[in-house]
């Protein structure tokens, strides 16, 4: 799914001649802490609520404070995971979307982005979670997927996190099976270390809920 497919047009864009107070009011109205500054298709940047609240005279135009803008954006043909990565990088409540000529197209809010991710099959589909740790040189996702598929399982999604303590990596995989005992044995036969699993048998609904909500948010 690309950024252009989930664009939002309801969020207003500030113009350079708009007053600081206007920006604060719009942020409050739309429950965001950032707004794009753009005129037509010309994009200038993003301004934050904190920046605006620090300005003593709220009747001043945005044009007097262009140095406060952040040039954060995502191109319309980039994947939604890139949108998520950029939002995290700049700690934004929304991200402007531009075309490849850097013309302003609209924004995507974090709330809308997370709703979109929550509707993806990797999150919505029933299944179980397997967590493994391994040395980086032992990580080959294709091999692991082949092992799981040989047990008639389908991998719905996966992400990798790194341990700062022991230089190991942790691989978290969601599969379509509700009971993973045969999968665990197959992985162990191939030398993989299982650190945790969450399926119907151990009924850890809390972990599964958190996984389903955050799987694609943690390490994109």
> What's the pLDDT at 212?
53
> What's the pLDDT at 17?
97
pLDDT digits (tens, 9 = 90+) for 62-81: 999 999 999 999 999 998 88
Q: In the predicted model, is pLDDT for residue 148 greater than 80?
A: yes
Dump the DSSP string for 67-93: GG-B---EETTSBHHHHHHHHHHHT-S
| Contacts with 159 (C-beta within 8 Å, 6 or more apart), sequence order | 171, 172, 215, 216, 218, 219, 220
> What's the pLDDT at 165?
66
> What's the pLDDT at 43?
98
The answer to whether the beta carbons of residues 83 and 4 sit under 8 Å apart is no
What is the percentage of the chain residues whose pLDDT exceeds 90? 61
In the chain, CATH 3.30.70.260 covers 122-214
Matching residue, tokens 């967590």: 131
Average pLDDT, the chain: 87
- The CA distance from 97 to 43, in Å, is 10
pLDDT digits (tens, 9 = 90+) for 86-137: 998 999 999 999 999 999 999 999 999 988 877 776 677 788 889 999 998 8
> What's the pLDDT at 218?
44
- The CA distance from 24 to 165, in Å, is 43
What is the percentage of the chain residues whose pLDDT exceeds 70? 88
The answer to whether the beta carbons of residues 122 and 135 sit under 8 Å apart is no
CATH architecture, domain defined by 3-118 = Roll (3.10)
In the chain, CATH 3.10.580.10 covers 3-118
pLDDT digits (tens, 9 = 90+) for 176-194: 998 899 999 999 999 999 9
Q: Is the pTM of this model over 0.85?
A: no
The CATH classification number of 122-214 equals: 3.30.70.260
> What's the pLDDT at 125?
77
């Amino acid at each position: 799914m690309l950024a252009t497919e989930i664009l939002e047009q309801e969020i207003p864009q500030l113009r350079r001649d708009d007053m600081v107070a206007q920006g604060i009011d719009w942020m409050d109205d739309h429950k965001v802490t950032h707004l794009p500054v753009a005129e037509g298709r010309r994009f200038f940047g993003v301004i934050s609520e904190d920046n605006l609240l620090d300005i003593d005279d709220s009747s001043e135009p945005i044009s007097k404070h262009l140095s406060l803008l952040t040039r954060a954006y995502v191109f319309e043909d980039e994947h939604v995971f890139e949108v998520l990565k950029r939002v995290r990088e700049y700690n934004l409540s929304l991200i402007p979307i531009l075309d490849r000529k850097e013309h302003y197209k609209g924004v995507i809010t974090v709330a809308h982005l997370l709703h979109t991710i929550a509707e993806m099959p990797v999150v919505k589909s029933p299944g179980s979670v397997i967590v493994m740790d391994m040395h980086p040189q032992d990580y080959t996702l294709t091999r692991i997927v082949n092992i799981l598929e040989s047990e008639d399982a389908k991998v719905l999604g996966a992400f990798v996190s790194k341990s700062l303590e022991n230089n190991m990596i942790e691989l978290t995989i969601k599969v379509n099976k509700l009971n993973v005992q045969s999968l665990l044995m197959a992985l162990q036969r191939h030398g993989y270390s299982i650190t945790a699993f969450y399926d119907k048998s151990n009924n850890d609904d809390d972990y599964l809920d958190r996984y389903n909500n955050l799987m694609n948010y943690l390490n994109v």
